[in-house]
Amino acid sequence: RSSNGKQFDASAKLNILKQTNLCPIVLSTYSAIFFAHPSENDRQQSDYDLLNQLSFSNQLIIARKFTSELSLVLLPTHIHLNRFSAGTSADPLFMGVGGRYKVTKKVSVNGEYFYALSTMTELHQNMLSVGVDIETGGHVFSLHLSNSRGMNEQAFLAQTTGQWLEGDIYFGFNISRVFSW
């Protein structure tokens, strides 16, 4: 659950290729679904439709680990918005690039930039984020500075309005744990 916009989300990732001596890249797909919890005021509107609270994202992850410290990624991304502004696309496309540099065995510095390939609102800004990940064994603590208030794809791609040079910098904190079987 994301506190920004009171959104619930679920995601899945499928690894297609693994980087080896024969294959120079990692190739994965990532998909997510988002449900924005409607306010009481939203539910009272005559044109209210529960389906308008849903949005989806699909992403191709093309990554390469160049050294034990440096990894880079290319992220072509599609989002489907059931609710969108007039004059914009319900299915915007984005191209993202990112990188990770491991400073120590447990600490890395990360950066990510997404460029909107589709028509967005006049207020829309491309997302730029820098951060630090701290691994503690079972958890990863992520500290981010970004021009986006949200940390999920629907929020940081389609709803970013902050401008770095105007001081619109937001601090984000995330704790993640991977469960595998």
User: Any idea where the domains of the chain sit in the sequence?
Assistant: 7-176
Q: Which residues of 19-56 are buried (b: 16+ CB within 10 A; e: fewer)?
A: eeeeeebbebebebebebebeeeeeeeeeeeeeebbbb
- Per the structure block, which two tokens stand in for 62? 């093309």
59 pLDDT more than 70: yes
Q: Which two tokens stand for residue 169?
A: 């910098």
pLDDT at 92: 87
At residue 102, the pLDDT reads 97
How far apart (Å, rounded) are the C-alpha atoms in residues 75 and 116?
12
Q: Is 165 left (phi over 0), alpha (psi -120 to 50) or beta?
A: alpha
- How much of the chain exceeds pLDDT 70, in percent? 85
Mean pLDDT across 23-41 = 85
**pTM for the complete prediction?**
0.83
| pLDDT tens-digit readout, 76-132 | 999 988 766 666 678 889 999 999 999 999 999 999 999 989 877 778 888 999 999
Q: Angle 72-73-75 (CA atoms, 0-180°, nearest 5)? A: 160
Name the DSSP letter for residue 37. Answer: P
Mean pLDDT rounded to a whole number for the chain: 86
Nearest to 56 by CA among 36, 90, 33, 75: 33
Mean pLDDT of 147-153: 81
- Write out pLDDT tens, residues 6-16: 668 889 999 99
Q: Report d(CA 46, CA 171) in Å as an integer.
A: 37
Task: State CA 114 to chain mean position distance.
Answer: 9
Three-class secondary structure of residue 44 per DSSP: helix
- Which of the pair, 38 or 60, is modelled with greater confidence? 60
Compute the distance between CA of residue 181 and CA of residue 34 in angstroms, rounded to an integer.
Answer: 25
The hierarchical CATH code for the domain 7-176 is 2.40.160
Indicate if the pLDDT at residue 57 is higher than 60: yes
Residue 1 has pLDDT above 50, yes or no: no
